[in-house]
Amino acid sequence: MCDFGESKTPGIVVCVLIIIFGGVTLFFFFQMNRQEIAPLATDEKGAQIRNLTYSLLIKNTGGEMIPQADIFVNAPNRKTGGQLCSRLHSDYLSSIVIDDKENQMLHFPFTNFPPYGVKAIAIDTELFVKSAPRQVETKSLERYLLGDRFCEIREVELINQANLLRSNTPKETAKKIFLWVSTVLKKTGYQKSERGALWGLRNKEGDCTEFMHLFIALCRINGIAARGVSGYRVVSDTRLSPSDYHDWAQIFLDGRWQIADPYYNVFLEKEEEYVAFRVHGPQREENFFHRWQSSDPRLKVVMTK
């Protein structure tokens, strides 16, 4: 309460200044904690809106304070296939990092994180999705024909299988590979470790990641540019669940990156049902992470339902 004493005018001025200062402080505080990307053009015909939310728990698992640490969390890709991210917002101080594949990561810096402390973060995003992927300009597709430790394109077993599936056109070959992978591989459910295309070929089983890697490897051997994608299948506004995280492939046909998901038997369709959180590079990066990364091993991230 303000005490005006004998002279009310100075007291009134002081109170007004306190209210103004407090309001300005709160305004800037909430603005600092609100991070949104610049809107993208969304005047394309047939686009639908998807509003998605998800939450994280950041935990200090150690008994000592962490003076400084950084958490990087994947967010919806800014622009790929039929997807445009028009808004990305978190309720905790963050910045947005975008790479050359339009992948977006939220960067959360922490100082003096208390022992066994827990911080909850809520994230929401708005997407425009459409059933047909847009045409894109790409400088080099050759890099999406290379092998890596999960797409072992120089292995004789993979080469022989790829030759058996080769057809008259890239599209026909891709379809033949897709049908073979989706038919031959048995679904095992989620596996924590990635095992690669050769493992999938030899064991004829795997989770969605092995389906993706085997399809990509067989396409690349046949000269079809292919890459992996991680994210979610979404048909309406929803709260994302950690158990729904999914891997699929994109192949470059007719000037477009198009969906091929042998795990769920989806080929060149249902673009609007796939939300990409990370488009993989031409070769798996050494510092690759599926959903988040912490600069301090004591600081753990958990996505909540």
Is residue 35 included in any domain, yes or no? no
* Residue-level pLDDT at 197: 96
pLDDT band at 135, cuts 50/70/90?
confident
Containing structural domain, residue 226: 142-279
Q: Does residue 164 have a pLDDT over 90?
A: yes
Mean per-residue pLDDT, 18-32: 36
Instruction: For residue 271, give Cα distances in angstroms to 43, 53, 134, 248, 292.
Output: 18, 20, 10, 12, 25
* Residue-level pLDDT at 282: 73
The whole-angstrom separation of Cα 258 and Cα 83 is 12
| b/e per residue 264-298 (b: at least 16 CB within 10 A) | bebbbeebbbbbbbbbbbbbbeeeeeebbebebeb
Top-confidence residue, 280 or 16? 280
pLDDT digits (tens, 9 = 90+) for 112-122: 999 999 999 99
Q: Does residue 17 have a pLDDT over 50?
A: no
Same domain, 126 and 237: no
Q: Does residue 199 have a pLDDT over 80?
A: yes
**Count of structural domains within the chain:** 2
| Domain end call among 131, 166, 199 | 131
Same domain, 112 and 217: no
Same domain, 146 and 115: no
Q: Does residue 262 have a pLDDT over 70?
A: yes
* Residue-level pLDDT at 38: 47
Which single residue is written with the structure tokens 């904690």?
Answer: 33
**Cβ 143 vs Cβ 283: under 8 Å:** yes
The three state secondary structure string of the chain is: CCCCCCCHHHHHHHHHHHHHHHHHHHHHHHHHCCCCCCCCCCCCCCCEEEEEEEEEEEEECCCCCEEEEEEEEEECCCEECCEEEEEEEECCCCEEEECCCCCEEEEEEEEEECCCCEEEEEEEEEEEECCCCCCCCCCCCHHHHCCCCCCCCCCHHHHHHHHHCCCCCHHHHHHHHHHHHHHHCEECCCCCCCCHHHHHHHHCEECHHHHHHHHHHHHHHCCCCEEEEEEEECCCCEECCHHHCEEEEEEEECCEEEEEECCCCEECCCHHHEEEEEECCCCCCCCCCCCEEECCCCEEEEEEC
Rounded-to-10 torsion of CA 151, 153, 158, 159: 160
Mean per-residue pLDDT, 73-84: 92
pLDDT band at 190, cuts 50/70/90?
confident
Sheet holding 104-113, edge to edge: 95-98, 104-113, 66-75, 292-294
Same domain, 127 and 202: no
Same domain, 117 and 210: no
| Domain end call among 83, 110, 131 | 131
**Cβ 105 vs Cβ 277: under 8 Å:** no
The domain spanning residue 194 has which CATH number? 3.10.620.30
pLDDT band at 157, cuts 50/70/90?
very high
Name the β-bridge partners of 292: 73
Sign, CA dihedral 229-235-239-242, equals negative
Mean per-residue pLDDT, 266-279: 95
Range scoring the smallest mean pLDDT among 3-17, 22-36, 184-198: 22-36
Which among 4, 120, 146 is positioned nearest to 55, based on CA atoms? 120
Is residue 83 included in any domain, yes or no? yes
* Residue-level pLDDT at 298: 95
Mean per-residue pLDDT, 44-63: 90
pLDDT band at 284, cuts 50/70/90?
low
| Domain end call among 131, 166, 181 | 131
* Residue-level pLDDT at 84: 93
The domain spanning residue 70 has which CATH number? 2.60.40
With a pLDDT cut of 70, the percent of the chain lying above it is 83
Q: How far is residue 144 CA from its own chain's centroid?
A: 19
Same domain, 275 and 147: yes
